[in-house]
Amino acid sequence: MILWKNNQLKTIEDSSLQWIHDMRQVGENEVEILTDPWSDNSAIWLFNIIRESKIKIREFKDYKSKEYTEDVKW
């Protein structure tokens, strides 16, 4: 993941966030991240941009055995 902060680019290297499928802003300094919905380790994470920290909200198994689609409801 690439983070643009204080006019600088920073690479966030985290194995839990390696396969990001989608992101959505949920606060001024927070985003929710959905990792690959078809993988065994799919999850929704809350990432704080200021602290550069993450918290796992929940696992996401809704699409585990389903066919690929661009429109993932999470």
pLDDT tens by residue, 13-69: 999 999 999 999 999 999 999 999 999 999 999 999 999 999 999 999 999 989 999
* pLDDT of the residue at 71: 92
Q: pLDDT confidence of 10, banded at 50, 70, 90?
A: very high
Q: Which of 21, 6, 27, 5 is nearest to 71 (CA)?
A: 21
46 within 8 A of 54, measured Cβ to Cβ: yes
Give the whole-angstrom CA distance, residue 37 versus residue 19: 9
pTM summary value: 0.90
In eight-state DSSP terms, residue 17 is G
Give the whole-angstrom CA distance, residue 48 versus residue 54: 6
pLDDT tens by residue, 11-20: 999 999 999 9
Q: How many other C-beta atoms can be found within 10 angstroms of the C-beta atom of residue 3?
A: 14
